[in-house]
Amino acid sequence: MDEDFLEITDDHNHNHCEDPGTLFHLNSRSDQPGGARCCTPAGGGVGVAGFGGGVVGVGGESGPWSGRVEQVGAAGSVSEFGPAEGSEGSEPSSGRLILNSPSKFLMNVMTAEDYRTNYWPKLERAVEHLLTQSPVDHISISYEQIYSHVYKCVCQQHSELLYNDLIWKIVSHLQRVSSELQESPPESFIEKFNLALTQYTAALQCIVPVFIYMNRFYIETKLNRDLKDDLMKLFSDHVAEKHVNTLIPLLIKAEAVPFQVRPSTMASVVKGLYALRPDWAPLAPALFSRFIPQVQPPALESQLPQYAVQDQNLQIELSLNGFSRGDQSRKRASEES
């Protein structure tokens, strides 16, 4: 009885290649319905099987069946694509399929040049679109393609190169944003900063998920960091820190004039600054305490009389500005008017 051999191996990137040490014997007879033929590994392991109508066997390196593919019909008939060249009784055939060449199984290896010319340019354009699009605009981007490119780059050991390129791209974008803010007039500086911060955080909600494979298997594993934290720190270092000394006085001034800046914008900017660097709160504790709970230190019992005086002064100020205290006729006599 002739036996066929199927050689299968798998590298760490799930690329099939030949390995003479792993041989699978293809049984000539089987009890499976529909003419199924089973493979059993020569040295132990997992066998594979094919059922009626499918390709079920590939020849090994030796023997007259080397390199031949057999297809089993529904009735159990076997059609051959032909034996390997050089085997006894072989004849030239245009339909012959030889699968024992490593080039048939190996995935194309991605070189650094391939990464630079084919993969990174596509990723760079996608990241640029995400960083520059307006929150109300929609740009059609294939997130599946971006994720696929990131996956291939990581599997081909280009994680460090990909991470460095991503950081360089985002830093270049933030430097342009900082330059634009530097040229903004004071009356629109708060709005411009809020737009830059909102746009950047919205872009990260798309960038971080598609680069999650790099984050999981390179940044978290080798750098012991997180991609989102790294990217937020970039905004803090290259934008917020350069303009915080200009921004906070403008916020304090805007707070003193009601509705000079929209309350939602004020809240967004102050909360954003606190999220980037909590140690900026002591620069304007009264400002941050209006939007961030428990920013100021807890009250002390010795300070209660001072707080009572501040409250009375506030009530007097409001009454002088036309704010009525309402009907006081039902107030208890023991309470102060």
Asked whether residue 84 is assigned to any structural domain, the reply reads yes
| Count of domains forming the chain | 2
> Distance (Å, rounded) from C-alpha 167 to C-alpha 215?
13
- Looking at the fold, whether 98 and 208 belong to one and the same domain comes out as no
Write the pLDDT tens digit of every residue in 143-172: 899 999 999 999 999 999 999 999 999 999
Write the pLDDT tens digit of every residue in 193-228: 999 999 999 999 999 999 999 999 999 999 999 999
- Looking at the fold, whether 101 and 117 belong to one and the same domain comes out as no
- Looking at the fold, whether 275 and 185 belong to one and the same domain comes out as yes
Q: Count CA within 13 A, CB hemisphere, residue 172.
A: 9
pLDDT score for 299: 77
Asked whether residue 176 is assigned to any structural domain, the reply reads yes
Instruction: Provide the residue range defining the domain that includes 135.
Output: 112-289
> Distance (Å, rounded) from C-alpha 4 to C-alpha 332?
103
**159 Cβ contact list (under 8 Å, min separation 6):** 153, 214, 217, 218, 222
pLDDT score for 136: 66
Which amino acid is located at 321 in the chain?
Answer: N
Choosing from 76, 107, 138, the residue where a domain stops is 107
Global pTM reads: 0.60
- Looking at the fold, whether 120 and 268 belong to one and the same domain comes out as yes
Query: Please, where are the H alpha helices in the chain?
Result: 102-105, 112-114, 120-132, 143-155, 159-182, 186-210, 212-214, 227-235, 241-256, 263-276, 285-289, 304-320
Q: Which CA distances in Å does 39 have to 6, 49, 269?
A: 8, 6, 66
- Looking at the fold, whether 83 and 150 belong to one and the same domain comes out as no
pLDDT score for 183: 93
Note whether 219 and 208 are within 8 A (CB): no
* CATH (domain of 120): 1.20.1310.10
- Looking at the fold, whether 137 and 259 belong to one and the same domain comes out as yes
- Looking at the fold, whether 233 and 126 belong to one and the same domain comes out as yes
Write the pLDDT tens digit of every residue in 256-287: 888 889 999 999 999 999 999 999 999 999 89
- Looking at the fold, whether 166 and 272 belong to one and the same domain comes out as yes
Indicate whether 123 pLDDT > 50.
yes
- Looking at the fold, whether 39 and 152 belong to one and the same domain comes out as no
Note whether 38 and 21 are within 8 A (CB): no
Torsion sign (Cα): 136, 142, 147, 152: negative
- Looking at the fold, whether 161 and 57 belong to one and the same domain comes out as no
- Looking at the fold, whether 84 and 123 belong to one and the same domain comes out as no
Indicate whether 106 pLDDT > 60.
no
Choosing from 82, 107, 132, the residue where a domain stops is 107
Asked whether residue 82 is assigned to any structural domain, the reply reads yes
Asked whether residue 331 is assigned to any structural domain, the reply reads no
For residue 314, name the pLDDT band (cuts at 50, 70, 90).
Answer: confident
Asked whether residue 335 is assigned to any structural domain, the reply reads no
**107 Cβ contact list (under 8 Å, min separation 6):** 13, 15
- Over range 57-64, report the average pLDDT: 43
- Looking at the fold, whether 100 and 116 belong to one and the same domain comes out as no
Which amino acid is located at 126 in the chain?
Answer: A
